[in-house]
């Protein structure tokens, strides 16, 4: 199946949506990076989404999620993440700007200093969110603390609903069928822009964590019949069921927009070779990539997500995994606030 962008837009416009972003986001060629890497490298600036200064890929998802919350007459919005979560911060500003009360449960991968709040956690405070820090117990992993935060959130929602309040529970990264529909819309936008500038993209590179962005991108590509190879650079340990879960997510997003399922596990290309030494832990490759993009193009990416994705792209260009002269688009998913986070996240950039 392959449909036009006009047909895709018609379906997208049928579901609830909050006006959070300014679209389309810019798409342009990085001339100096292209010359250095021997490819035609473009950047899609999804760090420019949103009415707030600090945008990112989550804003596309939140347009659909907050839209559904408003339609459902919710009063509270709950979500989860690490203490420096981009998703949590974007959920918070999206909620408060639409009259909703945000509540977040944040696992402390890096222990925050209550007297020296930084980056996204500082912004969460400024937006006056209700913040619950879930500190890791002795011997507890981030994943285990995450699961505990979900339980705490569910208990909190149950208490509020018992009192007569209506809540929306948004998963980490906005990674459900509603949120992932945001990147079917995003891929439709990219396809429209590519047509205008007359470029067929051979590859699209982006960072993946919870998987919602990747699910929407792949679903959108398949829906529109694009030939672009999507290479998703993992920012964390994905686990055994990651691709099967994201396949289900992609088809759920298609179903939400009233399309037939089009995505299979083989459609995903996930590279787990660049997240080490771990989530929210800096790497030499990401540090080099951040400095290279900053010095050549004056653009900042973060050490947690986009920096590691860009490191993967640079590696693939240098080793020939991306053929010379290929048209490549890098999806900048935001998160540069992490450059102002704790030293443990920032690493040795300076």
DSSP label of 127: T
The candidate with the shortest Cα–Cα distance to 339, out of 304, 293, 312, is 304
Q: Is 261 exposed, middle or buried (0-12, 13-18, 19+ CB in 10 A)?
A: middle
Q: Read off the tokens for 204.
A: 């699209």
**For the chain (length 350 residues), average pLDDT per consecutive 10?**
93 97 96 98 95 90 98 98 94 97 93 86 96 92 92 98 98 97 98 98 97 98 98 94 98 98 98 94 95 97 96 98 98 92 80
Element (H, E) at 6: helix 5-12
Sheet containing 101-107: give its strands across.
130-134, 101-107, 76-82, 167-169
Domain spans, the chain? 5-56+176-346, 58-174
Say yes or no: do domains 5-56+176-346 and 58-174 share a fold.
yes
pLDDT at 213: 98
Question: Has domain 5-56+176-346 been given CATH number 3.40.50.150?
Answer: no
Q: Read off the tokens for 151.
A: 């339980």
**Maximal C-alpha separation, the chain:** 61
**What pairs with residue 334 in β-bridges?**
56
Fold of 58-174: Rossmann fold (3.40.50)
pLDDT at 117: 86
| Residue carrying the six token digits 């347009």 | 63
**What pairs with residue 43 in β-bridges?**
28, 330
**What pairs with residue 100 in β-bridges?**
none
Q: Read off the tokens for 321.
A: 């995994």
Taking residue 273's Cβ as centre, other Cβ atoms within 10 Å add up to 12
pLDDT at 1: 64
* Interaxial angle between packed helices 5-12 and 212-224, expressed in degrees from 0 to 180 and rounded to the nearest 10: 130
């Amino acid at each position: 199946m392959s449909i036009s962008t006009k047909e895709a837009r018609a379906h997208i416009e049928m579901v609830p949506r909050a006006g959070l972003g300014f679209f389309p986001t810019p798409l342009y060629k990085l001339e100096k990076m292209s010359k250095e890497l021997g490819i035609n490298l473009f950047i899609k600036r999804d760090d420019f989404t949103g009415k707030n200064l600090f945008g990112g890929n989550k804003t596309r998802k939140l347009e659909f999620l907050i839209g559904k919350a408003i339609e459902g007459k919710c009063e509270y919005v709950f979500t989860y993440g690490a203490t420096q979560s981009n998703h949590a911060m974007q959920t918070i500003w999206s909620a408060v700007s639409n009259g909703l009360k945000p509540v977040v449960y944040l696992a402390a991968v890096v222990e925050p200093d209550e007297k020296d709040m930084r980056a996204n956690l500082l912004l969460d405070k400024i937006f006056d969110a209700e913040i619950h820090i879930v500190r890791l117990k002795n011997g507890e992993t981030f994943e285990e603390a995450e699961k505990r935060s979900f339980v705490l959130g569910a208990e909190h929602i149950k208490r509020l609903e018992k009192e007569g309040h209506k809540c929306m529970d948004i998963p980490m990264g906005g990674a459900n069928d509603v949120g992932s529909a945001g990147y079917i819309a995003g891929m439709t936008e990219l396809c429209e822009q590519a047509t205008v500038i007359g470029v067929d993209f051979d590859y699209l590179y982006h960072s993946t964590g919870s998987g919602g962005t990747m699910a929407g991108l792949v679903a959108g590509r398949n829906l529109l019949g694009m030939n672009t190879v999507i290479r998703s650079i993992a920012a964390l340990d994905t686990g055994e069921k990651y691709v099967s879960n994201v396949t289900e997510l992609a088809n759920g997003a298609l179903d939400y927009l009233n399309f037939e399922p089009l995505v299979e596990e083989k459609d995903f290309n996930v590279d787990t070779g660049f997240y080490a030494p771990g989530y929210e832990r800096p790497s030499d490759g990401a540090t080099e990539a951040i400095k290279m993009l900053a010095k050549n193009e004056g653009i900042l990416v973060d050490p947690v997500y986009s920096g590691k994705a860009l490191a993967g792209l640079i590696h693939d260009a240098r080793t020939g995994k991306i053929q010379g002269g290929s048209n490549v688009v890098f999806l900048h998913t935001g998160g540069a606030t992490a450059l102002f986070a704790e030293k443990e996240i920032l690493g040795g950039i300076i």
